[in-house]
Amino acid sequence: MRHNSRIFQKLGPVAIITTLCNERGISDVTFTLNRDLIEREYCVQYRETDLAFIERLAAEEGLFYFHTFEAGAHRLVFTDDPNSLTNLGERTYHNRAGGTAPTRHVRKLRHTARVASSSATLKDYTFKNPGYAQLNEHQGPNVEQHGQRMDYEHYDYPGRYKQDASGKPFTRIRLEHLRREAVTAEAQSDLPELAPGVRFTLSDHDVESLNRDWQLIEVIHHGEQPQALEEDSFTVGDSADMTRYHNTLVLGPGDVAWRATPNPKPRVDGPQVAMVVGPPGEEIHCDEHGRVKVQFPWDRYAEPNEKASCWVRVSQGWAGSGYGSIAIPRIGHEVIVSCLEGDPDQPLITGRTYHAANTAPYPLPEHKTRTAIKTQTHQGEGFNELCFEDKAGEEFIYMHAQKNMELHVLNSRQKRVEFDDTATIGNNSHLAVAKDRIETIDGNRGVTVHTNHTEQIDGERGLTVGGSYQTHANGDITFKADGELILDASKITLVAGGAALVVSGGSVDVTPVLNVGSASPSAAALPPIPAVLEAAAGEGSPFVSHCPLEEA
């Protein structure tokens, strides 16, 4: 028997069973079903034989199988309906002591009723509808007629379904399996045609209720042929030289489907490694839920592409409603896969690992003190990074944005630098302050503008300088005021083109030449020039003195 591990995707149980049978050379397979079986998104044959997998899958869906034989033909039949069994018609019951029965018959029938579960309740969960209970219940029919109580509930989780279309029949099938031995019978016969997969109607039993349809659940054949080389008729007798045959039977009601016991589902004992895969030419392949496709090392059938597996959910560090953290595993990444409840049909990515080809962002153990988050530009060169260095005496935090960076603070932001703060901007810098801005500099401040410097103040401007204030322009300086221009100082000196005007102590000194014929607006405001000069000369001003020509 072939022992295998294999993944089936988007196939129904009928297609899966047919595929496996055909691969083993069994082509004459028939399915007689009362319902349409739901397609399975992801179904794993995991470390089990083909037969064990087929029987497990069939039992989960409530199917049983039997064989039919015709001239030159052997057919395998899967069904969920006892009415599909081969009907042999009526068979006689004979249990009277002594004498020889006139025909082959059934005898020594013992009817048994057992206490069994009265109802079944299954529950499961799907992340696509987390608020839905996924609870399905089924009550057994005619439970009280055998004196059984109605409160023997069977509850189980998980029910191994993700929608009610599967949950309802799964719950019913579970209860039918649990109650399959609630009513049974055991008997003997000399009918060689009896075999599992057939049914017959019993007649002539003293208990009328037992004269009913029965289906064969189990048949054990007993035969003796002491003189096998001699031809002998097929009879039952006590002679030592006669061929003798009888069988023992396990029977079930003919109108109740016998549900086989599902083989134990293989369990994945621990985490597995897998490789993230996707379509050619793509680096990141996910769906709207952040799920990715993976390929397991044990999967010999799938190609490393988007068809290798179902969509597999990815565990994230934090997952809320519209908030949390997310990092989508990329194609080529190695991930750690766990299975919910150990079920290989329910994989979940719970971690990621480096390997020889995918190495850490920084060489190890050289940079073992670094903690980093480093990304890679999708379909391009570059990265974003946040790195923490924890080496004593060399601690730092490094941040790299491959293109843009945005910081949004809805209230206050505080920044404190205990030593130097350096900012280098390769292009423009814009600052917009909705209200006030205050700067306090305890030392010096230097501003160098290599082109133009423009300021616009819509209100007033005040400037207070504790020491000297100097302004130097290699070109012109223009002061323009739509109102009054006031210079308020203890002394004002204006120097231009070799001439000087000094206003100090209530006097104005001009040297060496004063053009009193000027039509400047300020000339009218000056006091009489001769008197001013005379007074200045009398005070011994270094810029004003009496003219020697006038004195001569």
Average pLDDT over residues 352-363: 95
Q: Which pLDDT tens digit goes with each residue over 420-466?
A: 999 999 999 999 999 999 999 999 999 999 999 999 999 999 899 98
Q: Is it the case that residue 38 has pLDDT exceeding 70?
A: yes
Q: Is it the case that residue 535 has pLDDT exceeding 60?
A: no
- CATH class, domain 3-80, is alpha beta
Q: Is it the case that residue 284 has pLDDT exceeding 50?
A: yes
Task: Give the confidence band of 488 by pLDDT, cuts at 50, 70, 90.
Answer: confident
> Which among 496, 509, 515, 506 is positioned nearest to 540, based on CA atoms?
509
As a three-state string, the secondary structure of 403-454 is CCCCCCCCCCCCCCCCCCCCCCCCCCCCCCCCCCCCCCCCCCCCCCCCCCCC
- Asked if residues 288 and 127 have their Cβ atoms less than 8 Å apart, the reply is no
Q: Is it the case that residue 526 has pLDDT exceeding 90?
A: no
Average pLDDT over residues 301-312: 94
Q: Which pLDDT tens digit goes with each residue over 499-512?
A: 888 888 778 888 76
- Asked if residues 237 and 304 have their Cβ atoms less than 8 Å apart, the reply is no
Structure pTM?
A: 0.79
Q: Is it the case that residue 232 has pLDDT exceeding 60?
A: no
The percentage of residues in the chain with a pLDDT greater than 90, rounded to a whole number, is 74
Q: Which residues of 143-156 are buried (b: 16+ CB within 10 A; e: fewer)?
A: beeeebeeeeebee
Residue ranges, comma separated, of all CATH 2.40.50.230 domains in the chain are 267-358
- CATH class, domain 267-358, is mainly beta
Q: Which pLDDT tens digit goes with each residue over 146-179?
A: 777 888 999 999 999 999 999 999 999 999 999 9
Residue ranges, comma separated, of all CATH 3.55.50.10 domains in the chain are 3-80
